[in-house]
Amino acid sequence: MLTPSDPKVDAELRAKLPVPKGYKLLIAVPQMNKTTEGGVHLPDERREAEETASVIGYVLALGDDAYADQTKFPGGPWCKAEDFIIFRSYSGTRFKVHGKEFRIINDDTVEAVVEDPRGYSRA
């Protein structure tokens, strides 16, 4: 159901994005398709609700202290910039820039890294 929006955020939009601080990560939320796989049109309200509850994101940036705690992350970072990740639904601080949703989440909110986010949806 989810498809990634272009992960290469254009320069104007990127200039408006906040810089994550501390142990936070800046995440872009992929936008929902306008239609289902069967061709049924999804209303904007439904797509927005699914994006809000999304569990998939694209890591744009990490704060300076993200994954720095050797005690908490003895194996090193759980993800890096440009990874698609699964994170807890409704987590983080949500905001929009030019109509695109982003989140700032804690480094320990990351549950998994996925190669391709298409086909994933919240259960």
Q: Read off the pLDDT band of 118 (50, 70, 90).
A: confident
CATH code that applies to domain 11-114: 2.30.33.40
C-alpha–C-alpha distance, residues 123 and 120, integer Å? 9
Total-model pTM: 0.77
Give the CA radius of gyration of the chain: 15
| Cα distances (angstroms) measured from residue 123 to each of 3, 14, 66, 109 | 16, 31, 28, 18
Inter-residue contact 60 to 17 (CB < 8 Å): yes
H-run or E-run covering 11: helix 11-16
Digit-coded pLDDT (tens) for 67-116: 999 999 999 999 999 999 999 888 899 999 988 889 999 999 999 999 98
Domain edges within the chain: 11-114
Inter-residue contact 56 to 91 (CB < 8 Å): no
